[in-house]
Amino acid sequence: MSIFITLVKRDLSLSFRQGFDSLMVLAFFVIAVVLFPFGVGPETNVLARIAPGTIWVAALLASMLSLERLFQIDYDDGSLELLALSPVPLEIIVIAKVVAHWLTTGLPLIIAAPLLGVLMQLPDQGFLVLMLGLALGTPALSLIGAVGAALVLGSRRGGVLLSLLILPLYIPVLIFGVSAVDAAIGDLSVRPHLFILGGILVATLALTPWAAAAALRQPVE
C-alpha cells in the first residue's frame, strides 16, 4: 500500500507540475456545456430536458483529453521500463496511474457539474443523482481509457485510435448515467441505474488493470 500511495503521489506531482492537462480538461468541460444554451436557445424547459445528457457527454469527452498522455510521458523518458522491471506488479502501477488521472480530471468534473447544472436549468431532484452518477461513472471511464491508452502506446496518431477504441465502451456508462438523472427528475427509482453503474465500476476495476498491464508489456519488451 505504501508503494501504491507513493506511485499515486508521484503521478499527482508530475501532473501538478505540468498543470495544463487538468486545466484543459476542466476548461473543455465548462466550455462544451456553456455552448449548448447558445445553440438551442434559453428556453428553460428545453435546457432542463437536455441537461443530463449534455453534462454527461461533455464529461465523457473531457475525460478523454488527457488519456493519451497517461503512459506516454513515462514511455518517452524510459520511466515505464524501470517501473515494469521493479518488483511492483504492473497491474498495481496501472491502478495507481488511473487513480492519479481520476483525481486530476474526474474529481474536478464532479465538483464543477452542479454549477453547470444550474446553468442548464437542471431540476433540483437531479443534482445529487448527477454527482453520484459521475462519482461512479468517471472512475470507470478512466479505467476503460487506461486500456485504450496502453494499446495505442507508441503508435502514430494514437489520439484518433484511442477515441475509436474506447468511445463504444463508454456508451453503457453514458446511458445509465443519464438514465439515473432522468429517473430522479421523473420521481422514479434511481437505484437500478446507480447499481448498474456501480457494477460497471466493479467490473472495470477487476478486469481493466490486467488488460492494460498486458498491453503495456508489448511496447516495454
Among 67-81, 134-148, 164-178, whose mean pLDDT is lowest? 67-81
pLDDT at residue 182 in the model: 93
pLDDT at 19: 61
Band the pLDDT of 45: cuts 50, 70, 90.
confident
The residue that leads in pLDDT, 154 or 34, is 34
Name the DSSP class of 88. Answer: S
Say how far apart CA 79 and CA 77 lie, in whole Å: 6
What is the Cα–Cα distance from 147 to 202, expressed in whole angstroms? 15
* Domain assignments of the chain as residue spans, ordered by start: 2-220
All three cell numbers of 169: 465502451
Percent of the chain with pLDDT over 90: 43
Mean pLDDT of 25-41: 88
> Rounded to 5 degrees, what angle do the CA atoms 189, 194, 196 make?
115
pLDDT-derived band of residue 20, with 50, 70 and 90 as boundaries? low
Q: Over range 126-134, report the average pLDDT.
A: 94
Displacement of CA 115 from its chain's centroid (Å): 19
Q: Is the Cα dihedral 165, 221, 68, 207 positive or negative?
A: positive
Residue 73 clears pLDDT 80, i.e. is over it: no
Q: What angle do CA 167, 173, 174 make, to 5 degrees?
A: 75
pTM score > 0.85 for this model? Answer: yes
DSSP state of 86: S
Average pLDDT, the chain: 87
Residue 104 DSSP symbol: I
